[in-house]
Amino acid sequence: MKNNENFNEFIAYAIKILQPYDGICPTGCCACEQHESIILIPGEEIFHCYSKEAVNSFRTDKNGIIYQEGADGFCPFYQDQDGHCANYNSRPIDCRMFPLFPIFEVEERGFRIARAGVYCPIHDDIKDSFLRDVTEICSLLNMLMDNNWKSRYNELNKIHTSDIGAQFVTSLIGTKESLYTS
């Protein structure tokens, strides 16, 4: 993995690019809280100043990758009393890209973009500009992250591509780009 300065620059850039899409989710929906896994970019918990309690509610694997599996229950930032994210303004990049997420083609050094299943209310209303910007962020992630991180990300998202109707919306291998929906 690259140094922390690269990660901090990436996190700041990703937030800036994805900021115009804040609020694309219907207020109080939080359907993703029950289904989605979250994986943090290295240093993201420090960049966002997450509380020790919040970070401790995540898991850390043998490679130091910090994550939360959707199957474990709700995200540590979910506020059950009002159905909102307690950390919305400082939510992870993974959450900011939702309902889109990358599936990395580790051996081919490429990736595909998938969209969450039909449980997400904006599943069928993804704007082209959002898809373009998430694709740019995923392209940078693909260059920045090591294969251990990408493989772990794929493992955590495997359930979304098979069990709940996720669909691939883009394929990016090397420099070739093709868009398709299934």
Give the per-residue pLDDT at 181.
Answer: 30
Instruction: Tokens for 77, please give them.
Output: 């930032």
Given a cut of 70, whether residue 8 has pLDDT beyond it is yes
Residue 30 has pLDDT above 90, yes or no: no
At residue 167, does pLDDT exceed 70? no
Phi, psi of 74 (to 5 degrees): -75, 155
Please answer whether residues 46 and 7 qualify as being in contact, where contact means their C-beta atoms are separated by less than 8 angstroms. Answer: no
Q: What is the pLDDT of residues 33-89, one digit of tens each?
A: 666 678 899 889 888 888 787 777 788 889 888 887 654 556 777 776 666 777 788
Residues 6+ apart with CB under 8 A from 168: 103, 112, 113, 114, 161, 180, 181, 182
Q: Where exactly are the structural domains of the chain? A: 4-179
Which pLDDT score is estimated for 174?
Answer: 41
pTM of the predicted model, to two decimals? Answer: 0.82
Distances, alpha carbon 124 to alpha carbons 119, 134, 169, 181, in Å: 11, 16, 11, 11
> pLDDT for 129-157, tens place per residue?
999 999 999 999 999 999 999 998 888 87
